[in-house]
Amino acid sequence: MSTQSGINQASSSASGTRDLGQFSVYAYGEKVPFEPVRVFLFTGLLSIAGLITGLVFGLIRPFVWIVILFPCLIGVIHSVAGRKLVRQLVVRHLAGLAIACLVSATLSLTLTHYITYLFAQQQIVSDMGISGAFYQKVAYNYEVHQVNTEKSTQVEEAIRYFDANPDMLSRARIQSFSDYLYYVTTNGLVFGFSSEKPLVQLGATGTGIYLILEIFLAAIVPLIIFRSETNHPFCNWCGSWKTKQTFGPFTNREEVLQVLENGELKIFEYVEVAGPNDIFVAFHTCPRCQNKSPVDVTIHAVDPRTKEASSSILSRMTYPEKAYTSLHLACCVTQTSSESGIQRIRVQKQN
């Protein structure tokens, strides 16, 4: 019979014990190949986002840096930048995704620290006053000037200044980015609202761990997002992402589970309003191959708030392509289309 909305619903006679065939049921899961070209391309494009975020946060860091939050924010930005890209390039291998996320996070935070280093070089000259540039030159060859018996008055002033301010000598002797990283690691990072009143000061080991933790946080956030984006059924025959159709609700949850897990298909009993013990069945099929590729099946409980299929999966399995029509018939679908073999009768949602 039909409703005013135009959606045909299964009649009471549609449900029953009619056998639709017995099929082999396979555990869901596939071996995802590592494709270097796709991984390399995705890593390169995601690295562009890493360089941009590194530049932006590098300009911010000398003035404000919120521990843990900012590295996570970098990860969120990388997630937004690569979320659609990862599906378009079909990068599904976990190791490939991890490489891309790690490279982009490392580039971003390295550039952030490098810009901070450039700011620090300007700041040290400013802190040493009007003769800062000359003092810095003396600091580069401090030991040589110290033992030299024929040094100028200005050099002697610089040496006396550094003797009274040993930390300033360490900062002034930084000549490269590697020197800066060594200085930061050995002297420890200071966290707080100002260097004069630090809330926390890490030692050398703690600083090294924190710098690694920053990269890890900036990498793990997009990795989780990308993994959720690509952890969807995929057609290996034509290289397309499968689409999802959810059918139901059906009564007799345990029976439906048993039927689908055993592969002995029969028509399920459709109900108008979902109850707490009812069930939804979702088919993941290839939009290109249709009934010529395997069907991935997920079984969902009823969401008590929306009365629709919940996002959690009770069971997951894969049926061979020859079960395509029988699976849809089990969910109260009529066989009217020669192209796909089925026509939807009752579909909760499609995406």
Coil/strand/helix, residue 237: coil
What pLDDT is stored for residue 164 in this prediction? 85
Say whether the peptide bond before residue 304 is cis (omega within 30 degrees of 0).
no
What pLDDT is stored for residue 18 in this prediction? 64
What integer best gives the mean pLDDT of the chain?
81
What pLDDT is stored for residue 16 in this prediction? 47
Q: What is the mean pLDDT of residues 167-187?
A: 86
Tokens of residue 327, six digits:
């699976």
Residue 298 neighbours by CB distance under 10 Å: 21
Per domain, the residue ranges of the chain are 12-29+236-350, 36-230
Q: Which residue has tokens 């703690």?
A: 206
Tokens of residue 149, six digits:
């018996």
Report residue 56's pLDDT band, with 50, 70 and 90 as the boundaries: very high
- Measured between alpha carbons, how far is residue 60 from residues 64, 87, 119, 196 in Å? 6, 32, 11, 20
What pLDDT is stored for residue 136 in this prediction? 81
Strand partners of residue 316: 298
Coil/strand/helix, residue 150: coil
What pLDDT is stored for residue 336 in this prediction? 39
What pLDDT is stored for residue 110 in this prediction? 95
Cα–Cα nearest to 221, from 327, 69, 339, 54: 69
Q: How far apart are CA 147 and CA 164, in angstroms?
A: 17
Tokens of residue 72, six digits:
């996570």
Q: Hey, what amino acid is at 48?
A: I
What pLDDT is stored for residue 196 in this prediction? 55
pTM for the model stands at 0.70
Cα–Cα nearest to 18, from 282, 262, 257, 264: 264
User: What digits encode the pLDDT tens for the residues 107-150?
Assistant: 999 999 999 999 988 888 888 877 778 888 888 887 777 777 67
Report residue 212's pLDDT band, with 50, 70 and 90 as the boundaries: very high
Burial of 316 (0-12, 13-18, 19+ CB in 10 A): middle
What pLDDT is stored for residue 143 in this prediction? 77
What pLDDT is stored for residue 15 in this prediction? 44
- Measured between alpha carbons, how far is residue 245 from residues 223, 248, 259 in Å? 27, 10, 19
Residue 90's Cβ-side half-sphere holds a number of Cα atoms within 13 Å equal to 14
Q: Hey, what amino acid is at 344?
A: R
Q: How far apart are CA 294 and CA 285, in angstroms?
A: 7
Which range is most confident: 136-145, 207-216, 240-249? Answer: 207-216
What pLDDT is stored for residue 218 in this prediction? 96
User: What digits encode the pLDDT tens for the residues 24-34?
Assistant: 888 876 667 78
What pLDDT is stored for residue 104 in this prediction? 96
Q: Flag whether pLDDT at 73 surpasses 90.
A: yes
What pLDDT is stored for residue 39 in this prediction? 92
User: What digits encode the pLDDT tens for the residues 246-282?
Assistant: 898 898 888 888 899 888 888 888 888 888 888 899 9
Q: Flag whether pLDDT at 46 surpasses 90.
A: yes
Q: Flag whether pLDDT at 62 surpasses 90.
A: no
Q: Flag whether pLDDT at 349 surpasses 80.
A: no
Report residue 230's pLDDT band, with 50, 70 and 90 as the boundaries: confident
Residue 339 neighbours by CB distance under 10 Å: 7
Q: Flag whether pLDDT at 43 surpasses 90.
A: yes
Q: Flag whether pLDDT at 151 surpasses 50.
A: yes
Q: How far apart are CA 235 and CA 166, in angstroms?
A: 65
Q: Give the dihedral sign, CA 71/72/75/76.
A: negative
Q: How far apart are CA 70 and CA 221, in angstroms?
A: 12
